[in-house]
């Protein structure tokens, strides 16, 4: 594969020498005489392997050209070598700090020019290949991590024979609410993971209590109410992802301060936990139970209207009401 190099130099003789050296070496060159010509070239989105820029040009200097290259997403990762007649360490230091890969001083030996050019291109290719490999491995690890979290969430849901896929639905509803509330893509992904694990503390609750068809005793209800703290204890050990425990601990807090385990009120409750609380309650009302089927959609909507500002953050309750209104065929419930 031929290397492609853009050379910018207003010195006709210097440009001719570089052209001769590159042609003998089998390099495909684009030879320009000014910064203006370079800017026109950049506008065409041609991707070279390297820019070789003279520092001193009549219309623009090399530092300005380098800045333009570095601010353009198409070219910012293309290496730049300065070609200069200056013998000034300050200029060289400034160029390296600005992002130049190397300096070649005029007059130059052909062997030196080619060696530095080829070394710079090869180093950049190795860097790009390594970065791509890291991205691939990171994506793979992220997928594995998500699969582990999904498996853990499924094992928690499996304890309750009356609801299937509860954690996955809560995660999906939470992500949708967050997206409509203006959260970034990465924040939406975070709240999805938090939603998947919001009930992980139920691992510590007896199956007979979780699946009891009738009314819970005070002791059994007290046991159920420990799952937010148990979940937070489990998840706090994932130190690289401290946000995970937020949804687990505080998804049963109420906006009016009457929730548990900490009785937080209003803005004291983390925003993500307020979202998960809405999603969790919605799925509870729209899922089948031993004592009832999924509640009618209009009843669910009325509950959110009634409880906005008391049980729920009004902002997120309103988003859920909007989602309900858009779901005209009532698909948003347990299958």
Residues marked active site are found at: 202
Question: What residues contact 243, with CB distance under 8 A and at least 6 apart?
Answer: 190, 194, 272
Q: Where are the alpha helices (DSSP H) in the chain?
A: 12-24, 35-42, 62-70, 89-98, 110-157, 166-180, 185-196, 207-210, 218-224, 227-235, 244-250, 271-285, 297-307, 314-326
Phi, psi values for residue 135, rounded to 5°: -60, -45
Distance CA(191)–CA(173), nearest Å, equals 10
Q: Which of 206, 187, 132, 194 is nearest to 168 (CA)?
A: 194
Distance CA(331)–CA(287), nearest Å, equals 12
How many alpha carbons fall within 13 Å on the CB side of residue 54? 24
Structure tokens at 104: 């070649």
Distance CA(162)–CA(179), nearest Å, equals 29
């Amino acid at each position: 594969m031929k290397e492609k190099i853009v050379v910018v130099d207003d010195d006709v003789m210097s440009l001719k020498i570089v052209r001769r050296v590159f042609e003998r070496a089998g390099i495909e060159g684009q030879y320009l005489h000014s910064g203006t010509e370079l800017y026109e070239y950049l506008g065409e989105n041609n991707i070279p392997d390297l820019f070789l820029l003279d520092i001193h040009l009549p219309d623009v200097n090399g530092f300005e050209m380098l800045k333009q290259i570095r601010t353009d997403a198409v070219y910012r990762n293309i290496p730049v070598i300065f070609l200069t007649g200056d013998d000034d360490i300050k200029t060289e230091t400034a160029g390296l700090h600005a992002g130049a890969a190397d300096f070649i001083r005029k007059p130059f030996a052909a062997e030196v020019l080619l060696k530095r050019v080829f070394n710079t291109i090869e180093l950049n290719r190795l860097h790009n290949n390594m970065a791509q490999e890291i991205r691939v491995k990171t994506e793979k690890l992220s997928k594995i991590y998500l699969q582990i979290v999904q498996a853990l969430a499924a094992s928690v849901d499996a304890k309750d024979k009356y609801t299937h896929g509860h954690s996955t639905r809560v995660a999906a509803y939470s992500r949708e609410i967050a997206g409509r509330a203006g959260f970034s893509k990465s924040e939406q992904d975070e709240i999805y993971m938090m939603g998947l694990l919001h009930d992980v503390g139920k691992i510590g609750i007896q199956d007979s209590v979780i699946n009891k068809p009738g009314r819970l005793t005070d002791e059994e209800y007290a046991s159920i109410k420990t799952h937010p703290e148990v979940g937070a204890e489990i998840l706090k050990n994932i130190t690289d992802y401290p946000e995970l425990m937020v949804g687990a601990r505080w998804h049963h807090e109420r906006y009016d301060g009457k929730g548990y385990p900490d009785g937080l009120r209003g803005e004291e409750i983390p925003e993500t936990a307020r979202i998960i609380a809405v999603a969790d309650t919605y799925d509870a009302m729209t899922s089948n139970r031993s004592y009832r089927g999924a509640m009618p959609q209009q009843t669910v909507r009325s509950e959110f209207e009634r409880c906005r500002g008391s049980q729920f953050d009004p902002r997120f309750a309103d988003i859920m009401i909007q989602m309900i209104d858009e779901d005209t065929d009532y698909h948003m419930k347990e299958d």
